[in-house]
Amino acid sequence: MSEMVYELSAVSRTYRTGSALIEAVKSVDLAIDGPGLVVIQGRSGSGKSTLLQMMGGLDRPDSGEIRFQGNDLARLREGKLTQLRRLAFGFVFQAFNLIPTLSAAENVEAAAAPTGGGSSERRRLIARLLDEVGLTSRARHLPSRLSGGEQQRVAIARALVNNPSVLLADEPTGNLDSRTSAEIISLLSRLSAERDLTVVVVTHDPAVAAQATRRLAMEDGHLAEIPFTSPLAGEVGFPSPLAGEGDPAA
């Protein structure tokens, strides 16, 4: 069996709306061989979310393979895919998506898969997760009483509750100011190191890239590596290796 976390080969996804075809992801190859913070940059409409959703088993490619832990997500039957979505992948979104009537701790608990463990064991797990994301003192607060950064920390704790091997984050700092964004990315980077977690972050924000262990650029459905040419590369904008290709019209 492969030791890779992910092996994508020739992954393509075309949306059909009426008679129009939109090739959102075009023959993407990608190998991720271990834990780290992988950042995928690229402008709006370049296919970043489409790719991330396929990597998390939320959508399937039209062609190509997505190998994950010995499975091809493109061809896995629905029941097994659902199980992976619950247990192997954690998802974090721009809009936090917390349940407004539940406290921080209850939001985390609501996502926990049944383990057969007792309720005190479960309470200890939730407390440990909230501590891990720096929110112990906010455990009983409703989302409306939390800042955006704090809400995103709850969402990250929730994403970790079933101890996934991959965290997939789509614009996790899109609703946050630059300082809070940097704190959230630092947290993801620390979690990646401490938990041997593969974290894939999709972002528009070039500052996020400064903390990445690996950077990729999505442009018009194609994915390419961004080499670390200088230590400041992440802070000076978006060094596109594919410059010159057509701009998306939308």
Ligand X SMILES: Nc1ncnc2c1ncn2[C@@H]1O[C@H](COP(=O)(O)OP(=O)(O)OP(=O)(O)O)[C@@H](O)[C@H]1O
Task: Using the rule CB under 6 A, give the single segment among 14-22, 68-76, 138-146, 229-237 that binds ligand X.
Answer: 14-22
* Single residue of 47, 56, 90, 143 touching ligand X by CB under 6 A: 47
Q: CB under 8 Å to 184, separation ≥6 — which residues?
A: 149, 152, 153, 156, 172, 173, 176
Which parts of 32-71 interact with Mg ion (CB under 5 A)? 49
Compose the 26-45 pattern: x for residues touching ligand X by CB under 6 A, - for all others. Answer: ----------------x-xx
Q: CB under 8 Å to 11, separation ≥6 — which residues?
A: 25, 27, 28, 29, 30, 51, 54, 61, 63, 64, 65, 66, 74
Closest distance of CB 203 from Mg ion, Å: 10
CB-based contact 163:117 (threshold 8 Å): no
Task: Establish if 58 lies at the interface with ligand X (CB under 6 A).
Answer: no
Phi, psi of 104 (to 5 degrees): -55, -50
* Single residue of 8, 35, 49, 96 touching ligand X by CB under 6 A: 49
For ligand X, the closer CB: 97 or 147: 97
CB-based contact 216:239 (threshold 8 Å): no
Q: Which residues of the chain form contacts with ligand X (CB under 6 A)? A: 15, 17, 22, 24, 42, 44-50, 204, 250
Q: Which residues bind Mg ion (CB under 5 A)?
A: 49
